[in-house]
């Protein structure tokens, strides 16, 4: 009986952990293959065990189920740790995408991908959520692709006041698209 | 030779196929009997083609390499053949080890433990770090350096290589024809008079070759070469060769 | 003293929980305001406590950091509760590419292709999007080829803590010291 219960508790714990949101009693009972009262008893027990310790993680009983989250008293340290990662130096891939956008804006994703030769969706997304790159509407072309440009925050992070202050790309040595308006060099629309 | 009974499997690549053949023939990777291997390899590729299976260029490249090794090994001096065989053996050993490791990884790898998404802590996600303009510039060069291999090069990109203006062969064809129009003949060397620079000389030479090929002119003689305009129904045929030098 | 330590452990736990990704020793030490050896001791203790129980959540040591994740034995229930699909097992080609990258990293695509004798662009791309392999910048060679390495996720999926725990390579060309005892139990090799 005992190991059986601890396995069910383990499963409940794993489910609550992996789900970012509250998990309902119905769902838990269904997955754990228990009737609702038993499931509730087990969840309450799990909650007590978690919350008794002076632990970093707690289980909250909410209206619509249970949710695992950090204890409020550690919010400061959690924030600090996550904040640090937020401001870690950008990855090489992120820097490259940012550079291509900065020197050629406004650009479509497919333009960036054509220049870099690799898929850039994830990187563009994370640059957008970091506030360094922003959407600038859509191109009036088939597929109406989104176009991107850099933000004022981007200038601030670089410590420059205008895009004109970016290190100039030399003629001849570098690709010419940095200097020309981009209108004519949009890559052909692709299905991807 | 023993007729091998293949089930037509898909191979991960030419090395995979070779390993299968070596195993079936009970050869040692270190002592490959190249002649047997070539025949069976080609036979297998033929079978794959018959079934309309995808035979990638990698397979064909390996076929060429095997045939070359076989050819060299038929020559009396076999040092090169030994060297080539050793290289192939080394590559096969390495690939075999790669497969062994891959199978170990395959048994262990699971996607059964789940991390969490990062908790939604309520701060704005905007970036507050510093970015050095130089780092951004380097990243740009780096990105463009890669893209350049994938984008077709622009004409300007060749400006450093072709520093003399481009002389089109077509323009020289017209010039040669014009010169011959009056008398119908000219001395070969005269065609080059007035050429400035190597590009014009080369373009004129190519123009003459094109015209000869198109049977518009004939070049005769040895010392005092004479170029003759051949009579053809006018305007029936445009000058060949409109490509640029 | 005792409550102090349990508070630090609580904070570490909260940070690992909230972060999702592996958190490096360096960052943990900084946020917890400890020197690295002490932070490591505390994290190891926390790890033991978590992993001793028949719990749903475990802490993994990955390279120089720690990550919290669910235990594999509850995968079925977690998938069911969160409506996740089962991951397809990796293809033979993917495993081979992974093997070459893991043992030789950082490597270029052309190195991988040389070992395998076939084009590997597609496979490398899909391993990258699965998060098992990542770009690591470029080689300073003509063409500036991208180089690739494995991610902490790769270690996690393999259930090992470090690249040192990979199964040893056999013939001696790799100049590796084989005197170290094998930390992990690798299944006996077979012909595949």
pLDDT in tens, A13-38: 999 999 888 899 999 999 999 998 99
More confident residue, B95 or A121: B95
d(CA C184, CA C103): 16
Query: Between C6, C15, C137, which is nearest A54 by CB?
Result: C6
Contact (CB<8Å) B121/A86:
no
A30-34, A130-134, B121-125, C121-125: the lowest-pLDDT one: B121-125
- Indicate the CATH number for domain A3-80: 1.10.10.10
pLDDT tops 90 at residue C37: yes
pLDDT for the residue numbered A143: 82
Mutate to test the interface with A, among B116, B134, B147, B153 (most CBs of A within 10 A): B147
Determine the Cα–Cα distance for residues A84 and B45; give it in Å rounded to an integer.
56
* Inter-chain residue contact C7 with A32, CB threshold 8 Å: no
Q: Average pLDDT over chain A, rounded to whole?
A: 80
Q: Does C5 touch chain A (CB under 8 A)?
A: no
Interface A:B, Cβ pairs < 8 A: 119
Q: Is the dihedral of CA B153, B159, B163, B165 positive or negative?
A: positive
Closest CB to B121 among A79, A98, A116: A79
Question: Rounded CA gap, A54 and A1, in Å?
Answer: 28
Q: What is the pTM of this model?
A: 0.64
Is the pLDDT reported for residue C182 higher than 70?
Answer: no
For residue C106, which residues of chain A lie inside 8 Å, CB to CB? none
The alpha-carbon gap from A179 to the nearest alpha carbon of chain B, in Å, equals 13
- Which residues of chain B have a CB within 8 Å of the CB of C125? none
Residue of C nearest to B106 (CA): C95
* Burial class of residue A129 (count of CB atoms within 10 Å of its CB; 0-12, 13-18, 19+): middle
Chain C, 39-98: which have a CB under 8 Å from a chain A CB? 54-57, 68, 70-71, 73-74, 77-78, 80-82
Highest mean pLDDT among A117-121, A159-163, B211-215, C8-12: C8-12
Predicted pLDDT of residue C177: 42
**Mutation target vs A (from C56, C73, C121, C130; most A CBs, 10 A cutoff):** C56
Do B187 and B221 touch, CB atoms closer than 8 A? no
Per-residue confidence (pLDDT) for residue B176, from 0 to 100: 84
Q: What's the pLDDT score for residue B159?
A: 47
The pLDDT assigned to A174 comes to 43
Q: Does B154 touch chain C (CB under 8 A)?
A: no
Q: Where are the domains of chain C?
A: 3-80, 92-189
Residue B1 touches partner C, C-beta closer than 8 Å: no
B41 touches chain C (CB under 8 A): no
CATH topology of domain A92-189: Arc Repressor Mutant, subunit A (1.10.10)
Q: What is the mean pLDDT of residues A97-110?
A: 89
Of chain A, the percentage scoring pLDDT greater than 70 comes to 83
Q: Do B145 and C138 touch (CB under 8 A)?
A: yes
Residue whose entry in the numeric block shows the structure tokens 């305007």: B235
Note whether A7 contacts C: Cβ–Cβ < 8 A. Answer: yes
Residue of chain C whose Cα is closest to the Cα of A46:
C55
| Alpha-carbon gap, residue C123 to C115, rounded angstroms | 14
What integer pLDDT is reported at residue B243 of this predicted model? 41
pLDDT of A187: 42
Please list the residues that pair with C24 across neighbouring strands. Answer: C65
The set of chains that have 3 or more CB pairs under 8 A with A is B, C
pLDDT number for residue A55: 81
Smallest Cα–Cα separation from C56: which of A57, A65, A6, A34? A6
Supply A81's token pair.
């740790």
Confidence at A191, pLDDT banded by 50, 70, 90 = very low
Q: Which residues of C touch B145 (CB under 8 A)?
A: 138, 143-144
Q: Is B172 helix (H, G, I), strand (E, B) or coil?
A: helix
| DSSP-assigned beta bridge partners for residue C58 | C69
Give a three-class secondary structure readout of chain A.
CHHHHHHHHHHHHHHHHHCCCCECHHHHHHHHCCCHHHHHHHHHHHHHHHHHCCCCEEEEEECCEEEEEECHHHHHHHHHHHHHHHCCCCCHHHHHHHHHHHHHCCEEHHHHHHHHCCCCHHHHHHHHHCCCEEEEEECCCCCCCEEEEECHHHHHHHCCCCHHHCCCCCCCCCCHHHCCCCHHHCCCCCCC
CB within 8 Å: A15 and C82: yes
In three-state form (DSSP H/G/I as H, E/B as E, the rest C), the secondary structure along C78-139 is HHHHHCCCCCCCCCHHHHHHHHHHHHHCCEEHHHHHHHHCCCCHHHHHHHHHCCCEEEEEEC
Q: Mean pLDDT over residues C66-75, rounded?
A: 91
How many contiguous H segments (helices) and E segments (strands) does chain B have? Answer: 7, 3
- The dihedrals phi and psi of B222, each to the nearest 5 degrees, come to -115, -65
Q: Say which of B103, B109, B121 has its CB closest to residue C192.
A: B103
Mean pLDDT, consecutive 10-residue segments, chain B of 245 residues?
51 88 87 86 85 77 89 81 87 90 89 79 66 83 64 50 62 83 79 79 86 83 69 46 42
Q: Compute the average pLDDT of residues C57-69.
A: 90
The confidence band for A184, taking pLDDT boundaries of 50, 70 and 90, is: very low
Q: List the single residue in A17, A27, A55 with the smallest CB-CB distance to C70.
A: A17
| Omega within 30 of 0 (cis) for the link into B8 | no
Contacts of B30 (CB under 8 A, 6+ apart): B89, B93
Taking residues C94-120, what's their average pLDDT? 92
- Reduced to 3 states (helix: H, G, I; strand: E, B; else coil), residue C21 is coil
User: Smallest Cβ distance to B13: which of C89, C118, C186?
Assistant: C118
Residues B140, A97: C-beta atoms closer than 8 Å: no
Instruction: Provide the chain C residues 90-149 that lie in CB contact (below 8 A) with chain B.
Output: 90, 92-93, 95-96, 98-100, 102-103, 115-119, 137-138, 143-146
| Alpha-carbon distances of B38 from B126, B167, B186, rounded to whole Å | 61, 49, 58
- What is residue A53's predicted lDDT score, i.e. its pLDDT? 64
Comparing CA positions, the residue from B182, B237, B241, B189 lying closest to residue B210 is B241
Q: Other C-beta atoms within 10 Å of A133: how many?
A: 27
Q: Report chain C's mean pLDDT, rounded to a whole number.
A: 83
> Could A56 and C12 be called an inter-chain contact, meaning their C-beta atoms sit closer than 8 Å?
yes
C3-80 and C92-189 in the same fold: yes
Whether chain A has a CB inside 8 Å of the CB on B155: the answer is no
A102 against B230, higher pLDDT: A102
Question: How many angstroms separate the first and last alpha carbons of chain A?
Answer: 54
Q: Which of A72-86, B141-155, C3-17 has the highest mean pLDDT?
A: C3-17
Chain C residues close to B13, C-beta within 8 Å: 116-118
Q: What is the pLDDT of residue B231?
A: 60
Q: How high is the pLDDT of residue C25?
A: 92
Distance, in Å, from the CA atom of C190 to the CA atom of C192, rounded to the nearest integer, reads 5
Asked if residue A6 has pLDDT above 90, the reply is: no
């Amino acid at each position: 009986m005992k190991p059986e219960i601890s396995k069910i508790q383990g499963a409940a714990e794993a489910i609550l952990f992996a789900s970012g949101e509250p998990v309902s009693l119905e769902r838990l009972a269904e997955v754990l293959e228990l009737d609702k009262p038993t499931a509730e008893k087990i969840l309450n027990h799990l909650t007590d065990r978690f919350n008794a310790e002076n632990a970093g993680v707690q289980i909250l009983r909410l209206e619509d189920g249970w949710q695992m989250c950090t204890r409020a008293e550690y919010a400061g340290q959690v924030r600090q740790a996550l904040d640090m990662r937020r401001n870690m130096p950008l990855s090489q891939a992120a820097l490259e995408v940012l550079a291509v956008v900065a020197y050629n804006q406004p650009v479509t994703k497919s333009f960036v991908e054509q220049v870099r030769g690799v898929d850039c969706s994830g990187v563009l997304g994370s640059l957008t959520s970091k506030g360094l790159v922003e959407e600038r509407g859509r191109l009036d072309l088939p597929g109406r692709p989104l176009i991107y440009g850099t933000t004022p925050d981007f200038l601030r992070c670089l410590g420059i006041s205008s895009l004109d202050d970016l290190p100039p790309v030399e003629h001849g040595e570098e690709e010419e698209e940095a200097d020309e308006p981009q209108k004519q060099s949009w890559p052909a629309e692709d299905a991807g | 030779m023993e007729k091998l009974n293949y089930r037509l499997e898909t191979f991960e690549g030419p090395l995979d196929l070779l390993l299968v053949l070596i195993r079936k023939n009970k050869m040692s990777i270190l002592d490959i009997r190249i002649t047997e291997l070539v025949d069976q390899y080609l036979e297998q590729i033929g079978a794959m083609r018959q079934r309309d299976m995808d035979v990638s260029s990698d397979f064909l490249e390996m076929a060429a390499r095997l045939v070359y090794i076989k050819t060299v090994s038929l020559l009396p001096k076999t040092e090169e053949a030994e060297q080539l065989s050793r290289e192939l053996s080394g590559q096969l050993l390495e690939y075999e080890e790669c497969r062994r490791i891959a199978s170990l990884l395959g048994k262990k790898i699971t996607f059964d433990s789940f991390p969490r998404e990062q908790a939604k802590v309520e701060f704005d996600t905007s970036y507050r770090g510093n970015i050095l303009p130089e780092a951004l510039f380097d990243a740009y060069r780096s990105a463009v350096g890669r893209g350049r291999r994938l984008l077709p090069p622009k004409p300007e990109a060749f400006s450093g290589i072709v520093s003399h203006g481009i002389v089109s062969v077509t323009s020289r064809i017209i010039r040669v024809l014009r010169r011959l129009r009056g008398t119908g003949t000219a001395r070969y060397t005269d065609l080059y008079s007035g050429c400035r620079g190597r590009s014009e000389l080369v373009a004129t030479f190519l123009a003459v070759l094109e015209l000869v090929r198109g049977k518009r002119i004939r070049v005769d003689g040895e010392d005092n070469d004479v170029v003759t305009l051949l009579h053809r129904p006018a305007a029936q045929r445009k000058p060949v060769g409109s490509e640029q030098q």
